Amino acid sequence: MRPDQAPPRPREEPTFPTVEPTSTNLRPQPRRRRYHFTPKPIALLVVIAFICWPLGLLLWANSKLSHVDALDGQGIRSGQTYLLAGSDERNTSEGQNGIGPDGTQGHRADTIMLIHKADNGQAAAVSLPRDTLVDIPQWGYNKLNAAYAFGGAPLLVSSVEKLTGIHVDHFVQIGMGGVEQMVDAVGGVNLCMDMTVQDPEAKLDWTAGCHDADGKTALAFSRMRKFDPRGDLGRADRQRQVVNQVLKKGLSPSSLVNPFRHVALGGAVASSLTTDPDTGMVTLARLGLAYKNATGAGLSGIPPIESTDYYVEGAGSTVLLDEEKSPEFFAKLREGTLSKEDFQKTE
């Protein structure tokens, strides 16, 4: 080494950063499992509920219906015809809401209505006044509701078939107490009458106008007769009004989505009705829709009448149908060609 030469620098070793061991880098982290929400199980449960609820309700309601052999197969078959009868008396010892297994002789029909859906789809609802003069098979001429007293549902059906020439496919009888139950089941109805009535016998205290009515009031409203100057015809109009309002409330969106109302209305309907053996809740639903369509089209009312005070020995004052117009009226009913003008004007 030269004296004037600087000593060599010591060789530096390369350095590397040191990493302190931690619990997070000792082993690889496991991948997090992602959970994906799927609506399929919930949707399936909803579908099952929507299927099982109405099916169960239908079976339950069908089991509560009472039945009576009422049909005889007479008259001309055309479309579907329903005969609806409401009894004005009840004898629960004989049967459900006053109708006995043999037809309950001695009771009279307070409401008699024929609902017909023709082959062409036209629906019409015809109220037959209970005092209508008819030729009752094997009994002769008398008031229509006397047929129910003489021979129960079968004789009433055959008398209506003989009067109209139309075959009755389904018979439905409702005890008047059932009207009260059904009105209460839908939460009451709004009814209108343009006169003030205080009728102690019918238990009706009514101020002219429209009022919300509970079942008890609606029943009195539909039964009141003596204070109505139109008598039987006025009562028939009010009875149709009650039925209209029950159907309107029962088929409203608020009722259709309310399961508690389903049970209340289904139970009230089923426990109040007596039908022919082949008529169940599905048929009753078709009846309700036919009636709703009829009233919506204005095809509801009374057939042409000649006199509301036609006296007959042994029967008293009766309602006499127009002998010229009524046969044509019932032919149009059968064929589905009725118009609003064909019905009796009751005003």
| CATH classification (class only), 42-69+176-277 | alpha beta
- Give the integer Cα–Cα distance in Å for 276 and 60: 18
Whether 232 and 129 have beta carbons less than 8 Å apart is answered as yes
Whether 300 and 114 have beta carbons less than 8 Å apart is answered as no
Which portions of the chain are predicted below pLDDT 50? Answer: 90-105
**Percentage of residues in the chain with pLDDT exceeding 70?**
71
- Give the integer Cα–Cα distance in Å for 21 and 95: 92
pLDDT of residue 94: 40
Q: 42-69+176-277 and 72-89+107-169+297-346 share one CATH topology?
A: no
pLDDT of residue 90: 42
Cβ-Cβ contacts under 8 Å for 27 (sequence gap 6 or more): none
Q: How many helices (H) and strands (E) does the chain have?
A: 9, 15
pLDDT of residue 78: 84
CATH architecture of the domain with range 72-89+107-169+297-346 = 2-Layer Sandwich (3.30)
- Give the integer Cα–Cα distance in Å for 161 and 263: 35
What is the DSSP-derived secondary structure letter of residue 201?
T
pTM given for the model: 0.74
* Each residue's pLDDT tens digit, 218-270: 999 988 888 888 888 888 889 889 988 888 887 776 665 666 666 677 777 77
| C-alpha dihedral sign at 347, 237, 79, 133 | negative
pLDDT of residue 225: 82
pLDDT of residue 65: 75
Each domain of the chain, given as residue ranges in start order, spans: 42-69+176-277, 72-89+107-169+297-346
pLDDT of residue 105: 44
pLDDT of residue 156: 95
pLDDT of residue 259: 65
